[in-house]
Amino acid sequence: MFMIAIPRQILGTGGIAIGGKMLFSLPVLSKDPLALFMLPPGALLTMALLHGLFRRMRIENHE
């Protein structure tokens, strides 16, 4: 859940905010965030990308 939530918040809002306080923001994304990641299907996309990334890492480790 944590691993899905972090990229979703960074890509969807352009930074990380805790309790209304912005911890950091990315220059381009904070102006034009990728709203897709804040929608329900954004969770599925993040999950798919993480799954693919982990599999890629596993394949590289085997090689």
Partner 1 sequence: MSSMSLFQIFFTLAIVQNFITSLFLGFCPFFGVTKNFKDAVAMGGALTFVMVGSAFFCWILTYYILLPFNVVYMNNVVYILVIATFVQILEMFIRRTNLRLYNAFGIYLPLITVHCAVLGITIINLREKFSFPQSMVAAVGGAFGVVILMAVMSAIRERLAVNEVPISFRGLPVAIMVACFLGLAFFGFGGMV
63 is an interface residue for partner 1 by CB under 8 A: no
Is the CB of residue 23 less than 8 Å from the CB of residue 13?
no
Q: Which of 5, 28, 53, 61 binds partner 1 (CB under 8 A)?
A: 53
Q: Which of residues 3-32 bind partner 1 (CB under 8 A)?
A: none
CA distances from residue 8 to 2, 60, 63 in whole angstroms, order as listed: 10, 26, 31
* Angle in degrees, 0-180, between the axes of helices 2-13 and 40-62, rounded to the nearest 10: 120
Residues that bind partner 1 (rule: CB under 8 A) add up to a total of 17
Kindly list the residues in this chain that would bind partner 1 in the complex (CB under 8 A). Answer: 36, 39-45, 47-49, 51-53, 55-56, 59
